[in-house]
């Protein structure tokens, strides 16, 4: 199971992308709000209990100072994927990106692009797929669909913009 957490409900439109991807592959997930600053006890309890609840990967989204992914990672041995979120009080998102990306040695957080929750969902699936053949097979189908999507656009573009490369 994957746990998707975020610092506040305002992060939901971004974090929904991870949930949507996991749902598309039929990977069980949970989604809730856990604030590092406003509900620190809840955050510690969440992080310390996640493994015993069957969670295998945590996706944590946060904006602004973005302490949630790193603080959760410091309390668990589970892999944590951080999603920096461009928030209303953000400095063009750089504060969130750097807060999640620049973790001290020993407390890694995998970090995806600003507002990149879809990639967080894909990365979580890949982590799970490394030991689950069913998930791995679904990921292969997904990746083939990406290839087919690109290839299907080539002839359409060629109609308007001829080129000699096939």
Give the model confidence (pLDDT) of 96-124 as tens digits: 999 999 999 999 999 999 999 999 999 99
The predicted structure's pLDDT at residue 92: 86
Is 8 assigned to a binding site? yes
Can you give the pTM of this predicted structure? 0.93
The predicted structure's pLDDT at residue 43: 97
**Rg, C-alpha atoms of the chain:** 18
The predicted structure's pLDDT at residue 90: 80
Domains of the chain (ranges plus CATH)?
Answer: 2-131 (3.40.50.1970)
Q: Record the tokens describing residue 4, joined without a space.
A: 């998707």
The predicted structure's pLDDT at residue 87: 86
Our CA dihedral for 134, 139, 140, 142, rounded to 10 degrees, sits at 130
Give residues with Cβ within 8 angstroms of 71, minimum separation 6. 36, 43, 47
Q: How many CB atoms lie within 10 A of CB 135?
A: 19
Give the confidence band of 129 by pLDDT, cuts at 50, 70, 90: very high
The predicted structure's pLDDT at residue 130: 97
Is 38 assigned to a binding site? yes
78 vs 56: CA distance, rounded Å = 6
Is 132 assigned to a binding site? no
């Amino acid at each position: 199971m994957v746990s998707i957490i975020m610092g506040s409900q305002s992060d939901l439109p971004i974090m929904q992308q991870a949930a949507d991807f996991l749902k598309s592959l039929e990977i069980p997930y949970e989604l809730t709000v856990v604030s590092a600053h406003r509900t620190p006890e809840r955050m510690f309890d969440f992080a310390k209990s996640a493994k015993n609840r069957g969670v295998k990967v945590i996706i944590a989204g946060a904006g602004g100072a973005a302490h949630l992914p790193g603080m959760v990672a410091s309390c668990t041995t589970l892999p944590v994927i951080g999603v920096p979120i461009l928030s209303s009080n953000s400095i063009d998102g750089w504060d969130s990106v750097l807060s999640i990306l620049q973790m001290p040695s020993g407390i890694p957080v995998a970090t995806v692009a600003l507002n990149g929750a879809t990639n967080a969902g894909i990365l979580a699936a890949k982590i799970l797929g490394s030991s689950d053949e069913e998930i791995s097979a679904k990921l292969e189908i997904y990746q083939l669909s990406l290839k087919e999507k690109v290839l299907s656009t080539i002839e359409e573009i060629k109609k308007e913009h001829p080129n000699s490369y096939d």
